[in-house]
Structure 1
């Protein structure tokens, strides 16, 4: 499959580019970015062509992988779908329900396949753990804490990301937390949010079927206080999310596999653009709750 890469930032360099370049069933068609010089550098690194026009890249590709800020990603995803390209997207797919819905509608109208790169679902042993818990009945409560030091004094390559500084951890790592809880506890029917120190946000969620959960996300934790945890409790006891062992490029390679399988079989992937849009809807409701004081 000919796959074009949109984006030239750290994620494109660390995960998307290496995985697409190495995949035995993929031809990396080319790279487009908002900074032409960065696109040229990344294209040279992976032995492909830099494009000046994203629509030209769409025309030369069967699919696109997008590693761009969400509010740039969503309209480009819609344009790519309209050009007949299958979609391999990053989370969140957008930061407004309206933008997410436009991308969903374009993908549906064009009949293209889509996969959203929720990292834990393409890594092991975390992906197997989520599937196992989703197949188990009796969960009553859950929690997911994504407390990172991206803006808390770490040397993270994402520390210079303008959109992350603007939108905070709620939109960057909130999707990870929801991607763990929703498949196990069900869709969210009620959301309440409260602000903590820095960009920390706490969520209280009610799920269909009666289960409840809490989420805490932050990018302003000091390194010594950072960590990722998720836990479920119910009639079967307690289950804790294991530590992810796959690196980013390996995980993205599995996301590519998932897109190829969806294209070949015609079966929608569980974490397709529709699931991504639902995550956007829930986070937008959480943001509204924050603005209303919880």
Structure 2
């Protein structure tokens, strides 16, 4: 019997659902880069588009969603929220781990159905909250945990809804609240403290302003828009308190640093059978906060 380090775990075989710009630019490339994951197949309702996504990586094109499930251990979703919510429930019932986009679904009911299916079938789930996997974000949240925060201001702004391949139907219909809101509310909830109440003012398709009351008494505000012309997307969180100011700004972040971390942590969760904090339950909480903002 010989010693030495244990053999590395085999790559997690992942099937990708979707063939749009986000699937093509990020999801497929991330999964195929490995070594923790292997892109086994792509399925989309447009077979030709699925073939274009799969071809650079030698992945198969599944003829149906059922065929995709048969050939993988985990499913990665890069589709509109309503499609994700429907298919994720089926994938969970088949015992497949889920890599989920935000928002979890188009509304709280659909999001709850996904979270309930994940819990009922005991599968691993993880959210693609991209910025959360960047070292700078994690450093900010560590520092925020030690801060006494009185109030906070934040924004997530860009012009992608004004035109281009990311001005997709669901984004134009629902606006920045469903698309950008999960990112910013997640950061505020994590950095300032759990959000107890949230109110929204404005039009999510143009500009919406959120006011959050946190369980610790702090108050924060969030500005969201995908319809303003800027040189680059702007995400910024400013925390204020008796000890001074703590600022998180993504202007200098290389988002390419996020994907290897996301891939590695998802694969580790699948192999261990234990999800991290950014799972479907987190997605449901964010969805409920978004709904409260609209209702308020």
Q: Same fold by TM (over 0.5)?
A: yes
Task: State the match for 2:104 in structure 1.
Answer: 93
Task: State the match for 1:191 in structure 2.
Answer: 198
In the TM superposition, 1:77-92 aligns within 5 A as 77-92=88-103
1:246 aligns with 2:254: yes
My pick for the range that moved more, 13-22 or 188-197, is: 188-197
Cα drift, residue 197 of structure 1: 8.9
Counterpart CA distance in 2 for 1:164 and 1:197 is 10
1:203 aligns with 2:210: yes
1:95 and 1:284 in contact (8 A); partners too: no
In the TM superposition, 1:71-220 aligns within 5 A as 71-133=82-144, 135-152=145-162, 156-159=164-167, 161-195=168-202, 199-220=206-227
SS at match of 2:159: coil
1:274 aligns with 2:281: yes
- For the structure 1 residues 74 and 131, does the alpha-carbon distance in structure 2 shift closer, same or farther, using more than 3 Å as the test? farther
- For the structure 1 residues 87 and 197, does the alpha-carbon distance in structure 2 shift closer, same or farther, using more than 3 Å as the test? closer
- For the structure 1 residues 224 and 251, does the alpha-carbon distance in structure 2 shift closer, same or farther, using more than 3 Å as the test? closer
Cα drift, residue 189 of structure 1: 1.5
Cα drift, residue 54 of structure 1: 0.9
1:141 and 1:213 in contact (8 A); partners too: yes
TM-score (norm 1): 0.91
Counterpart CA distance in 2 for 1:66 and 1:194 is 31
Cα drift, residue 226 of structure 1: 5.7
Q: Provide the aligned length of Structure 1 versus Structure 2.
A: 284
- For the structure 1 residues 77 and 225, does the alpha-carbon distance in structure 2 shift closer, same or farther, using more than 3 Å as the test? closer
Any gaps of 5 or more consecutive residues in structure 2? 1-11
Cα drift, residue 14 of structure 1: 1.0
In the TM superposition, 1:21-32 aligns within 5 A as 21-32=32-43
Alpha-carbon displacement from aligned partner over 1:258-286 (angstroms, at most 9, x marks no partner): 11222333443111111011111110111
1:5 and 1:31 in contact (8 A); partners too: yes
Alpha-carbon displacement from aligned partner over 1:164-190 (angstroms, at most 9, x marks no partner): 000001111111111211112222211
Counterpart CA distance in 2 for 1:71 and 1:112 is 20
- For the structure 1 residues 119 and 37, does the alpha-carbon distance in structure 2 shift closer, same or farther, using more than 3 Å as the test? same
Any gaps of 5 or more consecutive residues in structure 1? 290-294
Task: State the match for 1:292 in structure 2.
Answer: none
1:124 and 1:245 in contact (8 A); partners too: no
Counterpart CA distance in 2 for 1:9 and 1:198 is 21
Cα drift, residue 151 of structure 1: 2.7
